[in-house]
Structure 1
Amino acid sequence: MQTTPEHNERIAKMTFASVYPHYLAKVEKKGRTKEELHQVISWLTGFDDKDLQSLIEEKATFQEFFERAKLHPHANLITGIICGYRIEEITNPLTQQVRYLDKLVDELAKGRKIEKILR
């Protein structure tokens, strides 16, 4: 399943601040912690807690979020299906990066060990 230009545009304009509370609620509902969530986000993006708080406060879009990120060199090892899309087949780089993040949060919520999540 290929993403559409409209889908890619919608993701680019979405703010990290609007999605972050959903990530946090998802992992906490499954017994994981905010610290673990920040650990997986940091692994993928290089952001620390201060950076994340700043991005949330300024309502950075996902486009701005990933433009500032230093994507982990092993991010391409994140594979599988998330939101109906096979991550490794997504051709739009930004959409793929957002889905990497979604997949890591999903794995954390499903109880996967941090060592396995952080490829």
Structure 2
Amino acid sequence: MGSEVMGVPSDSEFMEALGSVPEATEYDPDVWRVETPIGDSGALLVLSFDIGGSSIRLTRESANGSDIEIYREEVRRILVYSEGGGRGIIVESHMSSFTCELRVAIHPQFRLLDTTLRVGI
């Protein structure tokens, strides 16, 4: 698992689904960050990811600060989607005997679904 490279969408896929593209962070050029508005709420969804480290951090931020912050390691891939009027992010990760899928809808409204399933032993 450790030798796999985390899959990430292309800049054009990010732009189509989220309306912005990731940029390298100032503090670590290996960590990328993309921000996108959540519907018409005024809140932002911020996705930071480290391809070499196979990790992500996802936060929901508003004028009152962050109210959701999720961190994942052993991320296999990040997907973005824009279909049927909905837009969002999917993060797939696999850890020993578990597979996890984090789905975040950002339009037309915010929805978070985090599933963890045990796989064959």
The normalised TM-score by structure 2 is 0.29
Structure with the greater relative contact order (CA < 8 A, sep ≥ 6): 1 or 2?
A: 1
Higher strand share: 2
The structure carrying a bigger helix percent of its residues is 1
TM-score norm. by structure 1 comes to: 0.29
